[in-house]
Structure 1
């Protein structure tokens, strides 16, 4: 049981860190919610089980240190901010597409942030699949995309469903 929780925790932790730093994102809100709720819940039972399983304190300290550091980091980040950050970025408009690589695009994206409205960004993204993508740049500058490789399409997607 301890091994299953440990493996699950490390997978959730790695996906959480990739999402926080905008390296690997998903459009599946349910998956993102599982990752964010998992990172809030899993460190405490894992830490308790690590101490119960290894009464000898000379056992690998790293097994106990990672959940402790995770709990400290979550307290620093504020769990409420983490819970309010569960919404995913949704594509409103595909502005440019790379003619050589159809998965490489420049998109206008929005994210629902509750009562504060919507967060907006222009991002250069590379889709690994339909639902998983990498953000290459959030600083869209049209001068960087002049040339023969990029084609302006301005295709309206409207994943949020705004009128």
Structure 2
């Protein structure tokens, strides 16, 4: 799964996906008096609205916060962008969600999550080096 550490970018995209289909749908019907003329243009916002109601908009809203790295546990010796990290995400009044994830960084702020189920037995070998570097991006004491 492709993810980012830039919270503003992620929030802008998610809120845009939630809000933008409704004005597009209204503008498309106001611009064309004939309902059957540009059926493809009308189908895109309609299908997006149907898809969003199927996915549950509350799930999308609660998924806006980004995962923050607390500790880099292991690093691949051959590829330094490939790491195993302990990450946390603020979920409001419910506290923090936690995970151990195997990630591959494309840039400093964009990464791919290769596995969310970290098991130490999978990483025993010559390629991985344990470093346990404390990052604390959330800023907990």
Q: Give the TM-score normalised by the residue count of structure 1.
A: 0.79
Distance 1:146 1:64 in 2: 54
Q: CA RMSD in A?
A: 1.6
Aligned length: 140
Structure 1 residue matching 2:85: 3-state secondary structure: strand
Structure 1 residue matching 2:117: 3-state secondary structure: coil
Q: Which has the higher contact order (CA 8 A, sep 6+)?
A: 2
Greater per-residue helix proportion = 1
Note the alpha carbon deviations across 1:24-69, whole angstroms, 9 max, x for none: 10101100110111011111112223334453614353x3323212
Gaps of 5+ in 2: none
Rg larger for: 2
Corresponding residue for residue 129 of structure 1:
107
Corresponding residue for residue 146 of structure 1:
124
Greater per-residue strand proportion = 2
Aligned to 1:70, which of 31, 35, 48? 48
Q: Give the TM-score normalised by the residue count of structure 2.
A: 0.90
Structure 1 residue matching 2:38: 3-state secondary structure: coil
Corresponding residue for residue 36 of structure 1:
14
Asked if residue 88 in structure 1 is aligned to residue 88 in structure 2, the reply is: no
Structure 1 residue matching 2:61: 3-state secondary structure: helix
Distance 1:60 1:68 in 2: 10
Distance 1:57 1:48 in 2: 15
